[in-house]
Each structure stands twice: as C-alpha cells, then as structure tokens.
Amino acid sequence: MTNQYPESIGDFDMALDIIGVGYGRTGTLSLKQALETLGYADCYHMSEVVSHPEHSPLWINAWNGEEPWELIFDGYRAAVDWPSVAFWPRLMRYYPEAKLILTTRDAESWYESASNTIFKAMKDGLLADEPTRRERVEMAKVIIVDGTFGGDLDDKATVLAAYQQNIDRIYREVPRDRLIVFDLADGWEPLCEALGEPVPKVPYPRVNTTEEFEQRWRGGDPRRRLPST
C-alpha cells in the first residue's frame, strides 16, 4: 500500500510539543487537563476518539505502518493515553523536539484500575450494537488488547509484564533531556518546573473516576458534554 501521508512535519504549521508515554489509568486524563491549563491545547486522549469516530480507521492505518499523524493530531499540541501511547517510539522520532512525559503508578493499583475500566469497557464494547462504538472498541482491541497485552487481559502476569516492559523501554530509549517522569500526586510544581511553565493558581486536576470513565467511553466526555457517538 502506498503511504498517502506526509513523511515529515515540514508541510504543516503545528507539531506535538508533548507526547505521553504512560499507559491509560496512570492519571492521563488529569494530565490532559493539566497540559491544556498550561496552554498545550488541545491535548489528544482516547476521549478524543469518542468525539472523532473518523479517527478509528486512521489509528488502524498507523498500526499497519502508515504515518497519519498530521491528520490525527491536526490542531493538537500534546497527546497522552491510548491509542497514541502505543506509538510513542515512532512519535518520538517524528516529533524530535517534543518532550515525553511518563506518568507513574504502582503496578498492582494500575492493574486493578485498568481491569475495572479500560479492560471491562473493551470486553463489553465488542458486543455493542452501535457501529461507531464497536469500531472504536475493535480498534482498541487491535492496538491495546492484542498488540500491547498479547490478547488476554485476564492474564495478569502477562499484562503486568507488558506494563513494566514499556517503562523499561522508555528509560532505555528516551534521551534524558526529553523525558519527564511525573507522579500526579506531586501536583503542579514538578511538572511546571520540567516544562518551564508558571504554576497555575488552580488545583491540579483529579478526574476520571471509574464512573466518569464509563460515561465517557459509552457516550462522550462528561466534562465537555460531548454528544453520544
């Protein structure tokens, strides 16, 4: 197949400044809101796929080796969470000036949270009657369930091994001057210091409970009041 996408960012005016490399459920939606508060707007997150169903096939194209980044990230200055986290090595090369942020969380706590949200949503979503939701879940199955975790989300040992392998690879391959390691429990100060930004006069965002995740995945982002898709 001929790659119909640009090979560099030279033909476009905007590039990603931030690439999140931490898996979903490590505070990625809170980070999205934090980055947008700091002026890195807009920030791409899986919730954007809910409001842009036309992106699902583009992500599959990317998984198959194409480079549709400027179509997906048009108008965005940052990207966190899945699906983009699955592509961080390629995105790191495509956007050579971008900083990479690793959001951290205890592995056992992460697995419990992911099992109750992301993993459950994918299992349920494959049975959905609504076409765009099913297409979104099928995309996530290809990239996350099969591509990242080997096809079995109930295999805790394999899933946790993949979680740690991602972190290990980040430390091996990301230049130290481009990597920011961030625990959302630390709040604004270390993030703002690493990015060279002033600390906002508002609390660091704490969002995306299990209940909020369920509403967002099924029908849109409750913060933005997105229409059902």
* Domain ranges within the chain, ordered by starting residue: 9-219
Report the percent of the chain where pLDDT is more than 70.
84
Its pTM surpasses 0.75:
yes
122 confidence band (pLDDT: 50, 70, 90): confident
Q: What is the mean pLDDT of residues 12-16?
A: 71
State the average pLDDT for the chain.
Answer: 87
Closest CA to 6 of 87, 66, 80, 90: 66
Q: Pick 9-219's CATH classification: 3.40.50.300, 3.30.1280.10, 3.90.180.10, 3.30.499.10.
A: 3.40.50.300
For residues 204-226, give the mean pLDDT.
56
- What pLDDT sits at residue 172? 98
Q: pLDDT category, 1, cuts 50, 70, 90? A: very low
